């Protein structure tokens, strides 16, 4: 009993310490976002470059390890892998600058900034009256997708990672400015999915960086594997909500590009209700996108892909 109490106490202390540092970082980020909204995008990128690049070493090992896990089996040499890493740092500068401004730019500027293809697939799905689940990886400036759809009049809710209450309140207020509602992981997502399916609305989420490490669900990812939370697929199947994978990437120096793919159909005809029957096609599309734009996968520096040795 005493041992269990000590464990619980240490977890509480650890959670409080984590929340404390999250709040300190949040205060800094909030000030940066306010400043970013006052400046031109090029000036914001310069500011991010000055602040971010000196501290980019904090996930350098993770990023290089993941790059090796994906590209060494594809016979990329160390110089090629290192070149992708340098481009990843440049991507992170642009991603952070664009994300800091995405809630404050108006519909006209969003239309100029984002090139969206495949919207007809979404419109056909909504004609069924069961809502739509849009699933993407953490690629490009993925926040541009829900922001643009909201600007075009779609009812959309974005699933976001959980944070201390002051952070969540700020995020909700910021998203509300451009017509987006938020739902936080581990709180309210099942109700959000049910509401969207009965009111014919959209739920948008990123699926490729699992926050539930204690329930691994490893799926093939090229020559390595990736841990995917099956929760979104479970809820989509439960509510018979059509799902679409969305590719997001920087197609040129100025514009974000996004593609809404046709509805994801269950790949397992023998067991179509298994969540991985949806997760596997999503992972396959993400892997294809990563091969084309490896420097634009945010998860390269935040996932934990195991190294898989090639057979001789």
Q: pLDDT digit string (tens) for 4-43?
A: 444 444 434 455 666 666 666 666 666 666 667 777 888 8
Q: pLDDT digit string (tens) for 244-255?
A: 999 999 999 999
Backbone angles phi, psi at 218, to 5 degrees: -80, 130
Q: pLDDT digit string (tens) for 199-254?
A: 999 999 999 987 666 678 999 999 999 999 999 999 999 999 999 999 999 999 99
Q: pLDDT digit string (tens) for 118-145?
A: 999 999 999 999 999 999 999 999 999 9
In what side-by-side order are the strands of the sheet with 256-263?
114-117, 256-263, 243-250, 132-136, 202-206, 156-160, 180-184
Count the neighbouring beta carbons within 10 Å of the beta carbon of residue 18: 11
> How many distinct helices (H) and strands (E) make up the chain?
11, 9
């Amino acid at each position: 009993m005493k041992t269990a109490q000590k464990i619980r106490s240490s977890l509480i202390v650890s959670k409080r310490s984590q929340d404390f540092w999250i709040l300190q970082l949040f205060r800094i980020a909030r000030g940066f976002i306010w400043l970013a909204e006052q400046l031109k995008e090029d000036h914001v990128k310069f500011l991010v470059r000055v602040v971010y690049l000196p501290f980019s070493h904090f996930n350098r090992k993770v990023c290089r390890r993941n790059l090796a896990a994906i590209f060494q089996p594809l016979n990329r040499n160390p110089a090629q892998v290192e070149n992708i890493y340098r481009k990843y740092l440049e991507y992170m500068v642009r991603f952070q600058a664009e994300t800091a401004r995405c809630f404050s730019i108006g519909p006209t500027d969003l239309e100029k900034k984002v090139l969206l293809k495949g919207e007809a697939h979404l419109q056909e799905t909504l004609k069924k009256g069961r809502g739509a689940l849009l699933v993407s990886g953490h690629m490009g400036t993925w926040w541009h997708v829900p922001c643009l759809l909201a600007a075009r009049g779609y009812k959309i809710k974005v699933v976001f990672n959980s944070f201390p209450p002051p952070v969540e309140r700020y995020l909700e207020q910021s998203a509300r400015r451009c017509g987006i509602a938020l739902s936080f992981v581990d709180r309210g997502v099942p109700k959000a999915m049910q509401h969207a399916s009965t009111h014919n609305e959209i739920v948008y989420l990123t699926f490729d960086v699992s926050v539930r490490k204690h329930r691994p669900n490893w799926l093939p990812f090229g020559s390595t594997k990736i841990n995917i939370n099956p929760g979104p697929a479970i809820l989509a199947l439960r509510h018979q909500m059509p799902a679409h994978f969305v590719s997001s990437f920087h197609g040129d120096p100025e514009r974000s590009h996004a593609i809404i793919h046709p509805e994801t159909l269950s790949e397992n005809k023998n067991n179509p209700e298994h969540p991985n029957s949806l997760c596997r096609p999503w992972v396959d599309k993400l892997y294809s996108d990563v091969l084309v734009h490896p420097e634009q996968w945010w998860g390269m520096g935040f996932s934990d892909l195991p190294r898989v040795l090639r057979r001789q």
